[in-house]
């Protein structure tokens, strides 16, 4: 028995002596075959100082029961006056793109309506920021912090991205502080998601969560390829489907915002529709390639260039057009006066036309000028650059002032007036004759995907 125990001990000792070097080596894998292990740390050491955390504060109207607005009701029940506004706080991210001038790119929705903006750098410095300009349609904003001793991220050519390229997302998820996640480019050119007006998203599976908005999506060289902006999150958190605005689009928007304080969006002056399978067969073209010109506005850039109804636009400035939304995106992201080269198909024959992008100014009207019950609402036509163009006929509610008659009646920004007193409308000019001398206004609205009726008395 003692001999068996001694033999077992010897076998165990020999096994441990053989296995121990491998265990130690596995615990400390500094190198493999004399090669250092790959790491993103050196790139991130250079890139992360350019990514900042953004905290905003804004005053928002408090939701109160309408009875509390009645002084007699408050007096009768001895209810003290209550503040009509409260402070709201939010967090997001941003990217320093110009260290000398202190320009920081972020999302429009991160700083929209903010009264104060505080930017926190990776080294802990807190700086007050001001908004240079913002564009809700592309969800891009430029803010400025004091320059000096800043690190900026270089912008990459996002058109060179390929599906499968490795990318890293840097931001401030859930306000935790700077966080890094990695993944790949899952898809390119994502449109039609309804997230914002102009969509040409990079899709990635790098984890993006609330608070990452405005943060950086970088390549393995530490260059900015996109600004993280949105996720599809059925459960409220990341499920591996995130979207970033391409760096090339960001650069175009930033240049216009810095130069003009806003984006001067161009337009051709056409209404378009998708090339459906039936239309594709009629034009003898592959489905999903091109957009059909349905209407050309007189004296527009398209009319001057010679575009006609029935033309199929296949390519703009070397970029293929897959559908009507893609055409609108390409044109809407060009500067006013910029030259465009259009490759089209007319009556089965290829043709190349050149045009200069014009500036589109939608017809607007003040609601109060139309009817006192609409006071506080700004009404706007649905122009060719709108995501609703060609899909909805009506009048867009562009703005609604809080606590105004229009707001109290239930109108919201983004609503579309389809009809008034059962009469269809297509422009603000159509409203005036329909509301005169009417005791009650029945307004048919489109809100998102739902239709509803509001009664104004």
164-221 pLDDT, tens per residue?
Answer: 999 999 998 887 888 899 999 999 888 766 666 677 889 999 988 888 889 999 999 9
Distances (CA, A) of 346 to 293, 303, 316, 333, 351: 11, 15, 15, 25, 7
> Is 274 part of the annotated catalytic residue set?
no
Question: Would 266-359 and 364-456 be classified into the same CATH topology?
Answer: yes
Predicted pLDDT of residue 140? 92
Name the residue with higher pLDDT: 438 or 126: 126
Catalytic residue among 213, 274, 323, 415: 213
* Band (63; pLDDT cuts 50, 70, 90): low
Predicted pLDDT of residue 107? 93
Report yes or no: 274 and 323 within 8 Å, Cβ to Cβ: yes
Tell me, which fold does domain 266-359 have in CATH? Answer: Pdz3 Domain (2.30.42)
Domain ranges of the chain: 45-263, 266-359, 364-456
d(CA 444, CA 420): 6
- Residue 83: other Cβ atoms inside 10 A: 9
d(CA 105, CA 231): 19
Predicted pLDDT of residue 421? 83
Predicted pLDDT of residue 428? 84
User: Is the pLDDT at 16 greater than 50, yes or no?
Assistant: no
pLDDT (mean) for 273-283: 83
Catalytic residue among 134, 138, 139, 186: 139
* Band (66; pLDDT cuts 50, 70, 90): low
Dump pLDDT digits (tens) for 317-368.
Answer: 888 888 887 887 788 777 788 888 999 998 888 899 998 887 666 678 888 8
Q: What percent of the chain has pLDDT over 70?
A: 81
Up-side HSE of residue 22: CA atoms within 13 Å toward CB? 5
Name the residue with higher pLDDT: 441 or 42: 42
> Is 109 part of the annotated catalytic residue set?
yes
Report yes or no: 300 and 287 within 8 Å, Cβ to Cβ: no
> Is 404 part of the annotated catalytic residue set?
no
Tell me, which fold does domain 45-263 have in CATH? Answer: Thrombin, subunit H (2.40.10)
Of residues 295, 297, 278, the one with CA closest to residue 287 = 278
Lowest pLDDT segment from 31-45, 65-79, 312-326: 65-79
Query: For the domain 364-456, what is the CATH superfamily, name and number?
Result: PDZ domain (2.30.42.10)
Residues in the chain: 457
User: Is the pLDDT at 8 greater than 50, yes or no?
Assistant: no
Among 79-83, 225-229, 402-406, 427-431, the range with the most confident prediction by mean pLDDT is: 225-229
Predicted pLDDT of residue 196? 64
Q: What percent of the chain has pLDDT over 90?
A: 26
Question: What is the value of pTM for the model shown?
Answer: 0.67
Predicted pLDDT of residue 11? 45
Predicted pLDDT of residue 245? 92
| Cα torsion 251, 255, 258, 260: sign | negative
* Band (112; pLDDT cuts 50, 70, 90): confident
Catalytic residue among 90, 93, 108, 109: 109
pLDDT (mean) for 85-111: 87
| Cα torsion 343, 345, 351, 356: sign | negative
Predicted pLDDT of residue 449? 78
* Band (24; pLDDT cuts 50, 70, 90): very low
Report yes or no: 272 and 390 within 8 Å, Cβ to Cβ: yes
d(CA 74, CA 65): 11
Q: What is the mean pLDDT of the chain?
A: 81
């Amino acid at each position: 028995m003692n001999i068996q125990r001694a033999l077992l001990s010897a076998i165990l000792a020999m096994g441990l002596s053989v296995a121990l070097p491998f265990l130690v080596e596995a615990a400390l894998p500094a190198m493999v075959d004399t090669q250092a292990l790959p790491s993103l740390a050196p790139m991130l050491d250079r890139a992360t100082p350019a990514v900042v955390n953004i905290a905003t504060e804004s005053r928002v109207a408090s939701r109160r029961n309408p009875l509390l607005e009645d002084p007699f009701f408050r007096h009768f029940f001895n209810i003290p006056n209550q503040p009509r506004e409260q402070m709201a706080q939010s967090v997001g991210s941003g990217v320093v793109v110009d260290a000398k001038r202190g320009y920081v790119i972020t999302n429009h929705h991160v700083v929209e309506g903010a009264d104060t903006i505080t930017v926190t750098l990776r080294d802990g410095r807190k700086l007050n920021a001001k908004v240079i300009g913002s564009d809700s349609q592309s969800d891009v904003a430029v803010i400025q912090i004091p320059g000096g001793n800043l690190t900026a991220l270089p912008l990459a050519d996002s058109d060179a991205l390929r599906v499968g390229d490795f990318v890293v997302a840097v931001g401030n998820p859930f306000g935790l502080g700077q966080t890094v996640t990695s993944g790949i480019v899952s898809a390119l050119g994502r449109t039609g998601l309804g997230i914002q007006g102009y969509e040409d998203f990079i899709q990635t599976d790098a984890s993006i969560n609330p608070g990452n908005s405005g943060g950086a999506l970088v390549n393995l060289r530490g260059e900015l390829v996109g600004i993280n902006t949105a996720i599809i999150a059925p459960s409220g958190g990341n499920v591996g489907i995130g979207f970033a605005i391409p760096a090339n689009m960001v650069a175009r928007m930033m240049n216009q915002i810095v130069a003009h304080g806003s984006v001067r969006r161009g337009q051709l002056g056409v209404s378009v529709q998708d090339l459906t399978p039936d239309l594709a067969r009629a034009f003898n073209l592959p489905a999903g390639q091109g957009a059909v010109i349905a209407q050309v506005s007189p004296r527009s850039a398209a009319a001057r260039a010679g575009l006609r109804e029935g033309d199929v636009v296949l390519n703009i400035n070397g970029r293929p057009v897959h559908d009507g939304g893609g055409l609108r995106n390409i044109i809407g992201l060009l500067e006013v006066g910029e030259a465009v080269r259009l490759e089209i198909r007319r009556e089965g024959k290829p043709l190349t036309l050149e045009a200069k992008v014009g500036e589109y100014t939608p017809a607007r009207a003040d609601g109060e000028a139309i009817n006192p019950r609409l006071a506080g609402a700004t009404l706007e036509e649905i122009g060719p650059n709108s995501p609703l163009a060609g899909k909805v006929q009506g009048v867009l509610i562009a703005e609604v002032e809080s606590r105004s008659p229009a707001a109290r009646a239930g109108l919201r920004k983004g609503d579309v007036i389809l009809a008034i007193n059962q009469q269809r409308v297509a422009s603000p000019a159509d409203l005036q004759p329909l509301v005169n001398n009417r005791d009650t206004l029945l307004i048919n609205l489109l809100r998102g995907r739902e239709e509803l009726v509001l009664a104004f008395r």
